[in-house]
Amino acid sequence: MAKYLLLKHYRHNGPKPVPGTEAMMDQWTPEEITAHIDYMGRFAEKLAERGEFVSEGALSPEGTFVRYDGEGRPPVTDGPFAETKDLIAGFMIIDVESQERAYEAAAELSAAPGQGGRPIYEWLEVRPFFAELQGTTE
Amino acid sequence: MHEDQVNELMRTLAPQVLGVLVRRGADFATAEDAVQEALIEAAHHWPDSPPDEPKAWLLKVAGRKLIDAQRAEAARRRREERVHDEPPPGPTEQSDDTLLLLSRCCHPSLSPASAIALTLRAVGGLTTAQIARAFLVPEATMAQRISRAKRTITGERFDTPGDVRAVLHVLYLIFNEGFTGEISLADEAIRLTRQLTAASATDPEIAGLLALMLLHHARREARYTASNELVPLDQQDRSLWDTSMIGEGVAVLQGALGRDLLGQYQAQAAIAALHDDAPSAEETDWPQILEWYDELVRLTDSPVVALNRAVAVGQVDGPRAGLAVLAGIDPGLARWDAVAAHLYERAGDVALAIEHYRTAADRATSLPERTHLIKQVARLVVEARSRGR
């Protein structure tokens, strides 16, 4: 088994959205939003039933950059950058048999219904976790 | 004995046994460790050979573990003798122990998160694993949080019962955690507050807090949709409200108010009772709710109370009056934009309402809240579009 991180973005610097799917969620109807949320909930349940679900989380769009600024000094902050930067909206960690299966799961998530009940064709970022060093490696 | 019975019994008895040991003068952290060790033995033995008197059994084993631990420290020998020599407790002492244990677990030197974890384990009788799952953290993390908390209070003196208000605050925080999973923290908080009500009648705020919890918890079934979306109070299906729980909450509140020593929990419970009492949102007694908010503002300087008062002013004197009050409140508060949006919508200013709902969604502190606010934007945009046609 191998773990993968599926990343959802509010906005990202990745591939261009599929034409016709640019509308943000607040441009949908309330019913379309409910249908979307239901689909996402069922998706997580299905993965759990298959024994592939590890964890998930949703992130607020408000974030700030922080760094050390020397001994005895308070941390330096920069931001928030809600409007411009690549912005992660949420993540799901799955533990699956193969990369193919990870892509299949990501594609299913990307098919969540949006405006008019049509799939949103959302680009999801799939990142493999580094594996544990195996006891038999030597 | 069936495993579930064993678990249930251990859960009930563990805090009682801990209470006895602590009352006899044992150090809290050492006693808690001793009880945990005794529980491990109980889980091992009870399913096959259940004891005749489970509490006495646990007390004996925990007492022995305690002495083992104390032998290691010569300095504690005096206390060891005291614990050892005292007669077994009578049934009446148990209730006093609840306040004793709670005041230790909610000691002001602990952070809220530590106090919550320690309270749930030492008084609530939950296992570390259950508490960890309820807060969605790894078990090792929660175990560490609990043992750090125990170390923190080890040096503290406990000559008098702790501040009841500190205990109430921790119970209030547990109630508001509200994760729904295997363990309902709201139910746990109600259970503990009930125990405290039975143990101590010194402060009517104890009953006030219990009433507040019951009057809110009565609406739990109506608060979320099947897909875990938030349903605001004015749109809830009131037939789903738990009327017997409301009845109990009102009775508890009346008993507390009769003592004529008002506090913030009683005032908040009174507001909840007025909402629960309304057959429909339109029939809500807002003038009386506003009076209670005026009272609350006098009792606490909480900015969240001030924010909720602005909503009540909006209901009584109209949205523009609500907005005027809102202008005097710190816009940095998380729910400020949500209240502004609501008031602008009621004032008929759709453009400003949409703008504030959008900001509110970006500032939401939970996903159901965010989704709810995005839907308000969506709803207003759809309405504006159809009106434009």
DSSP 8-state assignment for residue B159: S
Could you say which of A38, A41, A61 has the minimum Cβ distance to residue B362?
A61
Chain B partners within 8 Å of A58 (Cβ): 367
Name the pTM for this structure: 0.81
pLDDT for B93 equals 54
- Residue of B228, B374, B382 with shortest CB distance to A25: B374
Answer whether A79 touches B (CB < 8 Å).
no
DSSP B330-380: -TTSTTHHHHHHHHHHHTT-HHHHHHHHHHHHHH-SSHHHHHHHHHHHHHH
**For B125, how many CA atoms within 13 A lie in the half-sphere containing its CB?**
19
Please indicate, yes or no, if residue A15 is contained in any of the structural domains. Answer: no
Q: Is B126 on the interface with A (CB under 8 A)?
A: no
For residue A18, pLDDT over 70 is answered with: yes
- For residue A43, is it within any domain? yes
pLDDT at A138: 60
A16 min Cα distance to partner chain B (Å): 23
* Contact flag A27-B229 (C-beta cutoff 8 Å): no
The number of domains in chain A is 1
Residue B222 · residue B215 · CB < 8 Å? no
Among B369, B377, B385, the strongest candidate for a mutation testing the A interface, having the largest count of A CBs within 10 A, is B377
- Most A CBs within 10 Å, among B228, B371, B379, to test the A interface: B371
Question: How many residues in total does chain B contain?
Answer: 389
Residue keyed to tokens 């759990």: A48
In chain B, the percentage of residues whose pLDDT exceeds 70 is 90
Residue A58 above 70 pLDDT?
Answer: yes
Residue A52 binned pLDDT confidence (cut-offs 50, 70, 90):
very high
The yes-or-no verdict on residue A93 having pLDDT over 90 is: yes
Determine what percent of chain B falls in helix, strand and coil, rounding each to the nearest 5. 75, 0, 25
State the pLDDT at residue B88. Answer: 47
CA distance B352 to chain A (A): 15
Chain B residues whose beta carbon lies within 8 Å of the beta carbon of residue A28: 378
Q: What is the mean pLDDT of each run of 10 residues along chain B (389 residues)?
A: 82 88 84 89 88 90 86 60 51 65 87 91 89 88 92 71 80 81 83 88 91 96 86 94 97 95 96 97 97 95 93 97 96 93 96 96 88 94 81
Instruction: Tell me, yes or no, whether A39 lies in a domain.
Output: yes
Residue B151, burial from CB neighbour count under 10 angstroms (0-12, 13-18, 19+): exposed
- pLDDT at position B89: 44
- Is A18 inside any structural domain? no
Domain assignment present for residue A65? The answer is: yes
Sheet holding A125-128, edge to edge: A53-58, A87-96, A2-11, A125-128
Question: How many contacts does A have with B, using Cβ atoms within 8 A?
Answer: 43
What span, in angstroms and rounded, lies between the C-alpha atoms of B342 and B363?
15
Q: B378 to chain A: which residues are within 8 Å by CB?
A: 25-30, 32-33
Average pLDDT for residues A40-47, to the nearest whole number? 92
Chain B closest CA to A89's CA: distance in Å? Answer: 11
Instruction: Give yes or no for a contact between B83 and B67, defined as CB atoms under 8 angstroms apart.
Output: yes
**Residue A112 within any structural domain of the chain:** yes
Range of the domain at A50: 25-128
Single-letter residue type at A98: S
**Residues of chain B with C-beta less than 8 angstroms from the C-beta of A62:** 362-363
The CATH number covering residue A89 comes to 3.30.70.1060
Q: Which of B362, B363, B383, B386 should be substituted to probe chain A, the one whose Cβ sees the most A Cβ atoms within 10 Å? A: B362
* Whole-Å CA distances, B242 to B184, B197, B229: 17, 21, 20
Write out the E strands in B107-206: none
Task: Using a CB–CB cutoff of 8 Å, tell me whether B228 touches chain A.
Answer: yes
Q: 3-state SS of B37-93?
A: HHHHHHHHHCCCCCCCCHHHHHHHHHHHHHHHHHHCCHHHHHHHHHHHHCCCCCCCH
Residue A50 lies in a domain: yes
Whether the pLDDT of residue A14 is over 80: the answer is no
